[in-house]
Structure 1
């Protein structure tokens, strides 16, 4: 039975009050001024999820004996470095998807440079309508920003972006070529555009990454979720992502040699709901788009640096790096 909703009446506390709360709950504070500085510039609320593994009681929030503020801070710093490493791989994959989509559609789609205006390139009219409206909105917004008197443009060789240059230089078509348009879309819009294309084009684009279409569709959805977490400085460690990448069944997809790591037959299996399958999927694509990337080595180095942080909070096992998949990635990047 769900308990009745309550009225929230907890008061805001300053740094000293928050430190006293930590101490009352059993946390060791060796330097109050330093702790206060971190609370001031990071925030008690942002640090709170990192305290959970160190608590012996989730109701009283009591800490395990000997737990220090530095223990919590180390997990926070680790998560920040993990986030930066993850967004680094996401950036490479996103750029590669943009390029594959742009190249494929502008050379094979109906309408060439302006293929996005042709309904035959889409799976249905809804995808077409959504794409066209977004592009027209972006174009019109930029058109409103362009000075009506060209004399106001101090340096006509310098434009804030390529869209402004197109609109100030060309009178038609009203919207720019696809390779410019693709760069204007957000990651979420890019994912929706890919999903809305006709199947034959999706398959061609996915092949550029050595993936089946359905796998790429699934992974892109997860990447948008993870990218948003990273962009808002959210926590990747010890959380369920909410959008999970499909575990590929095809042996043509580069994946862990030990495929039973993620129990796809058990919907309650926790490993595949955490970050690890995302990390594997990113490396799978990096094998294709950046064969000699050092990303896997940097991941290995980061996890080795913070050996006290439990890997199961990421959905990983202690011997994760012994799998031939990762061994190949380490060798390729060395």
Structure 2
């Protein structure tokens, strides 16, 4: 049975010091711990411990380095959230445009277009909840002006209310025979529908981590992604910088895919400089914890 009692902030600091974490300014540490929980910060000092059972820290482990890691991770989430926003808006736009023209404005509720009808029903159920909660004037006016139309509002209204995760599921669930599935993949540089779904799913997962302020640094990410054997647009040419299959769990490969998509959406983006500046700002952060490769900035992908 779990029997640990809650520690006061002073007790938390005393325990960390006893375990070997250098905290010269206990007043400042108390300020941090009153705003960032001990448990949350623990995700950042865990790697500093030489013994994970007794929680003893390695020699020269410092509280200020824990805070630096925490701040780096927070800024990294903000950076990636901004990149993912552009990818999300582009995907939403392309889905609405191409499929509304190929099929009709209500394509997203047409069971015949999707491989997994049960998954679609779940997606539509979530969408209905979003529309019912929506305070958007466009949605309210649509339901007011079209009371006799029992369908969802058309794609250009409905899909503006749904999440990136739902959009990625809609795209991945489309049957291969739907022409727009390949059209969208080609416009984003992914050649065909075979590769893009895994990219979008992984990016949607990372978006959720960002939205919920979860740690990205030194995190093993779920799932794998399919890499193009011969990307049509600038990618990585030095073999030492290409992610290997077993390294798909690291953030680096996912950031490479974000950069690849962003280069098609916004060619003159500053993702590389922003990411590089983050490592410069926090020199004590180990890039290997993100799976970063040597000289990644010099690859055609990141130029």
Q: Given the two structures, how large is their TM-score scaled by the length of structure 2?
A: 0.91
RMSD: 2.0
Partner of 1:11, secondary structure, is coil
Partner of 1:56, secondary structure, is strand
The answer to whether 1:209 aligns with 2:188 is: yes
**Which segments of 5 or more consecutive residues in structure 1 lack a partner in the other structure?**
1-6, 146-158, 329-334
Candidates 211, 229, 243, aligned match of 1:262: 243
The answer for the alignment partner of 1:185 in structure 2 is 162
CA contact (8 A) 1:262 1:272 kept: yes
In the aligned structure 2, how far is the partner of 1:244 from the partner of 1:262?
Answer: 12
Q: For the structure 1 residues 178 and 64, does the alpha-carbon distance in structure 2 shift closer, same or farther, using more than 3 Å as the test?
A: same
In the aligned structure 1, how far is the partner of 2:130 from the partner of 2:274?
Answer: 38
The answer for the alignment partner of 1:4 in structure 2 is none
Candidates 93, 110, 113, aligned match of 1:118: 110
Candidates 20, 28, 39, aligned match of 1:34: 28
In the aligned structure 2, how far is the partner of 1:232 from the partner of 1:88?
Answer: 15
The answer to whether 1:302 aligns with 2:281 is: no
In the aligned structure 2, how far is the partner of 1:137 from the partner of 1:229?
Answer: 22
Q: For the structure 1 residues 88 and 135, does the alpha-carbon distance in structure 2 shift closer, same or farther, using more than 3 Å as the test?
A: closer
Higher relative contact order (CA 8 A, sep 6+): 2
Partner of 1:80, secondary structure, is helix
CA contact (8 A) 1:209 1:289 kept: yes
Q: Which deviates more, 170-179 or 114-123?
A: 114-123
Q: For the structure 1 residues 137 and 63, does the alpha-carbon distance in structure 2 shift closer, same or farther, using more than 3 Å as the test?
A: closer
Candidates 221, 227, 233, aligned match of 1:241: 221
For residue 23 of structure 1, report the CA deviation from its aligned partner. 0.8
CA contact (8 A) 2:209 2:215 kept: yes
Q: Which deviates more, 7-16 or 239-248?
A: 239-248
For residue 287 of structure 1, report the CA deviation from its aligned partner. 0.8
For residue 129 of structure 1, report the CA deviation from its aligned partner. 3.6
Q: Given the two structures, how large is their TM-score scaled by the length of structure 1?
A: 0.83
Q: For the structure 1 residues 160 and 103, does the alpha-carbon distance in structure 2 shift closer, same or farther, using more than 3 Å as the test?
A: closer
In the aligned structure 2, how far is the partner of 1:248 from the partner of 1:227?
Answer: 22
In the aligned structure 2, how far is the partner of 1:81 from the partner of 1:114?
Answer: 39
Partner of 1:214, secondary structure, is coil
